[in-house]
A and B are shown apart, each in its own frame.
Chain A
Amino acid sequence: MELILIPIIAGVLAALAGKQSRWVALAGSLVSLGITLFWLAGFRYGASFQYVFDKAWFSQGIHFRTGVDGISMVLLLLTNILVPVILLSALRNDKRNAATLFALIVGMQGALNGVFLALDGLMFYIFWELALIPVYFICALWGEGNAFRTTLKFFIYTFIGSLAMLASLIFLYSRTPDPSSFGYEALLAVNLNHTEAIWVGAGILLAFAVKIPMLPLHSWQPDTYSEAPAQGSMLLSGIMLKMGLYGLIRWFFPLVPEALNVFGPVLIASGVIGVLYGALIAIRQNDMKRLVAFSSLSHVGLIAAGIATVSVEGMQGAVLQMFTHGVNVVGLFLAIEVIQSRAMTRNLDALGGIAKQAPVFAVFFLLLVLGTTAVPFTNGFPGELLLLKATFGYKAVWGILAGITIILCAVYMLRMYQFSMLGKPSGGIYLFPDLRWNEWMAFGILALLVLWTGLFPQYLLDLCGPAIQKTMKGILDSTGVVS
């Protein structure tokens, strides 16, 4: 409750605060981070939901019900660490109407927390939609190029997906025993036959697949990422996509386990094809933002495939990799923003030799690149290993195909780093000042996370382990019932 309300109130205050809005927003998001850490400290390892808040909302069947288990704890942690970092990196922003920008970012934090905390179907839907609104405004109002058209495409894509999910949820709701309820457990307890499960599942999956995005519903993504302002890209790729992946674990598979034999293979195929497709296109990109967008498509495909194997390694790897990918991709977009704000371009052809002028920046950027390429002892490695193991265990072919990503990822990431940072200074880059204090702090936090997750992945794995085992047991038990 407080995790949802405090950022939203901070957002409203920030919108009214004028010049001081950045500090109001930052304070709000830090308070929220503090609460998250406090909850983490008091978190009892186990599969049950903790810190439950429950109050009747729309009616007796629709509650405002929040709670945390290991899986949502990881994502809350991710959200509440990344939003302050994003705000920090934007502190010196002098864009038009900056106050509104800060307000929207911190408001978004509240909506995202709501998504990860929701234990009621309708509440989940409401926050799912609500999270879309700030990011839509951020992209539409401060975007570059043809931002309105791109963001409208993005909005309509996701809105149609969400409406399909709403239809599915209402269907499940109408099947719950009287008095009908949208409660998480009540929806889970609904037994569907195979055909119904496919239809209901397709509706829910549409919402998640658009947001993740899974092939072939990804076409909004590269344009939106590249035309959005840096903060928009960070929010979208760092946290918002995780909503879809989280939805797969928390809602999709548990709600329609009856159709696992249909959706499992489809998701794995689409995920692995996405891995290769994203990676191959990323190699050819010269626009750094588009490059990172496609690399993100590739990484997220692997996570989705890992979840769809419904194995402990797959799901644990997925949760870990969600955290990792969030940190890395925000770092990369931040690095791109640093380059673009100084060199006025993010085209790889026009860049080069930045490392000599900004050595601190170069070190941080390299660390993030290595993390993304999954070099051992950085954060990308453990998650990717688990995910590949799970995919391989599911079917060796898929595992091998997905494994190519490690090579391809190294190719495009190192190519990006080499072309932009190393070599001779080219074009108009004569003066590239090194990091300012706020950027320094943002990169510092991200770098610590890269190393910490790389060295001690077991902490996050233990955190989400029991909850994942419970979720998996639920899924496999009900598939057993049907077959």
Chain B
Amino acid sequence: MRSLLLIFLGAIAILFAGLGKKEIRMLPWAIALLLGALVFIPMDWIANEQPDWVNHIVPYFMMVFDRSALAFMAVIIIAAMLVLGLFGQREITGSDQLGLILFSLCGALILCSFTHMVMLFLGIEALSIPLFVLAGSRKKDLRSNEAAIKYFLMGAFSTAIFLMGCAFVYGGTGTLDLSVMQRVIPGSAAMGGMTGLAKTGVVLLMTGLCFKIAAVPFHFWSPDVYEGSPNRTTLFMATVVKIASFSAFFRLFNFAFSSPLAHGNWSFVLAILAAATILVGNIGALAQRNLKRTMAYSSIAHAGYMLLAILANPLESFWALIVYSLAYAGSSAVVFYILNKVQEKKGNTEFESFNGFGRANRWLGILLILALFSMAGIPVTAGFAGKFLLFSAAFTGFKWLVIVALLGSAISIAYYFRVFRHAFLTEADGDIIKPEWQDSVFLAIAATVLLLIGIWPALITGLQLFELH
């Protein structure tokens, strides 16, 4: 709670304090704000309010900052810090964009901690509305305008579907509170089964959330929006928004609809969506000639892998999802940073623009390899640890899906290595890029996250979600 309040109040302060100043001058304050919020998390972790999810005893609040919420909040704040830290905008005046990003972050934090559908809805809206503006923040750029319109239409559409889902679930269960809902939904068919209303509601909720995470077949907006938006916004969408939506997905489906019967009703549909997402994302990425679009498709594929965590036994897959999210946030940040710098020099993000990049920039080249390896899931990077934990958690229930996911990872090698080929194996002379010192700090943080978790995943998986009594 403290983190959320701090960021919200700080965002207002930064918005007003930044009037007429260069944005870059307000950036350190924003970073400090996030750091402050991050410091609260271990404190709350130790003295946590601890709803007993296992025995369904949850205090009647609309939000609960239990350990699962805190873990996601930490990941999201770190991801947001990377986004802000790596994309200092020198030319922008006024801190309106900074403020919008922070407000959107507040929405993301609400998505980690809701226990009531109204709060979930508010979180989604608080997350999305600033993004509609941010997507169109390059006013003179047609593509940015296109992205904003597309994102807005799709967002409005998915919100409507989501609200409809809420209404149906309310009709079927008589409540909007997650813990009550869990008790009301019967555990087995013998207890009466789920009503048609509730089932429809669950499917509609799933659809609404799948729009947000860009799962197939609700993914069509994402490559265009990702390509058209400014790089900072794209990275924010790809990491913070996606991870926050997954935390909401996880909380909703694994706590409210987690009874064996309910799980049986939705899990198969979701498994099919996951398989389709993995395949479409990876195969779509193969066909791209532009790194930014490739990353858009690859992020669709990553959403597919992360859906495995929703399907698996939540106690096993929770840390898997956290590790995967961290790995994904870290590697995306590195790739987008490099992509942004290359775009500043060359004006586009076609693969050809990366020719000779690795030869000209030794350290950034090594970082790029590390990030690509992590995305492809090659050992001793955090990406491997995340993939492995996800796959082994989902294996007992969904063997075929894990095999599809493995196939998907094999396909992904081809396009990740294409980046590598352009960066390292072409004769062209790349432009030398000198990162600012503060950029180097955040790149180092990202690299440390990728390597440290890759080598020692027990750092994260060894944490106790419940206090052992």
Please give the residue numbers on chain A whose beta carbons come within 8 Å of chain B beta carbons, in ascending order.
56-59, 122, 125-127, 129-130, 133, 140-141, 147-148, 152, 155-156, 159-160, 163-164, 166-167, 170-171, 173-174
15 pairs across A/B with beta carbons < 8 Å? Answer: A57-B456, A57-B457, A57-B458, A58-B385, A58-B388, A58-B461, A59-B458, A126-B380, A152-B417, A156-B410, A164-B406, A167-B402, A170-B391, A171-B395, A174-B392
A307 and B181 alpha carbons, distance in the complex (Å): 59
Contacts A59-B458, A126-B384, A152-B414 given; indicate if A163 touches B406 (C-beta within 8 A). Answer: yes
Residue of A nearest to B389 (CB): A58
B379 sits at the interface (CB 8 A) = yes
A to B contact number (C-beta, < 8 Å) = 67
Contacts A130-B379, A170-B391, A171-B395 given; indicate if A148 touches B413 (C-beta within 8 A). Answer: no
B229 sits at the interface (CB 8 A) = no
B378 adjacent to A122 (CB under 8 Å): no
Residue numbers in B under 8 Å from A133 (CB-CB): 373, 378
Residue of A nearest to B411 (CB): A156
Interface string of B388-404 (1 = CB under 8 A from A): 11011001100100110
Contacts A141-B424, A148-B425 given; indicate if A174 touches B410 (C-beta within 8 A). Answer: no
Interface of B is mostly: helix
Report which residue of B378, B389, B424 has the largest number of chain A beta carbons within 10 angstroms of its beta carbon. B378
Of B410, B417, B462, which one neighbours A163 at CB under 8 angstroms?
B410
Interface of A is mostly: helix
Please give the residue numbers on chain B whose beta carbons come within 8 Å of chain A beta carbons, in ascending order.
373, 378-380, 384-385, 388-389, 391-392, 395-396, 399, 402-403, 406-407, 409-410, 413-414, 417, 420-421, 424-425, 456-458, 461-462
Residue numbers in A under 8 Å from B396 (CB-CB): 174
A248 and B410 alpha carbons, distance in the complex (Å): 23
Other A-B pairs, 15, CB within 8 Å; known A163-B409, A164-B406, A174-B395: A57-B456, A58-B388, A59-B458, A125-B379, A126-B379, A130-B379, A140-B420, A152-B414, A152-B417, A159-B413, A160-B410, A166-B388, A166-B406, A170-B391, A171-B399
Residue numbers in B under 8 Å from A130 (CB-CB): 379-380
Least Cβ distance of B374 to chain A in Å?
A: 13
Residue numbers in B under 8 Å from A126 (CB-CB): 379-380, 384
A148 adjacent to B458 (CB under 8 Å): no
A155 adjacent to B417 (CB under 8 Å): yes
Report which residue of A59, A141, A171 has the largest number of chain B beta carbons within 10 angstroms of its beta carbon. A59
Of A160, A163, A170, which one neighbours B395 at CB under 8 angstroms?
A170
A57 and B407 alpha carbons, distance in the complex (Å): 26
Residue of B nearest to A15 (CB): B366
Contacts A59-B458, A129-B378, A167-B402 given; indicate if A159 touches B410 (C-beta within 8 A). Answer: yes
A122 adjacent to B388 (CB under 8 Å): yes
A171 and B400 alpha carbons, distance in the complex (Å): 12
Residue numbers in B under 8 Å from A173 (CB-CB): 392
Contacts A57-B458, A125-B379, A152-B414 given; indicate if A167 touches B403 (C-beta within 8 A). Answer: yes
Residue numbers in A under 8 Å from B392 (CB-CB): 170, 173-174
Residue numbers in B under 8 Å from A155 (CB-CB): 413, 417
Least Cβ distance of B283 to chain A in Å?
A: 15
Least Cβ distance of B398 to chain A in Å?
A: 12
Residue numbers in B under 8 Å from A148 (CB-CB): 421, 425
A140 adjacent to B388 (CB under 8 Å): no
Residue numbers in B under 8 Å from A127 (CB-CB): 379
Residue of A nearest to B408 (CB): A163
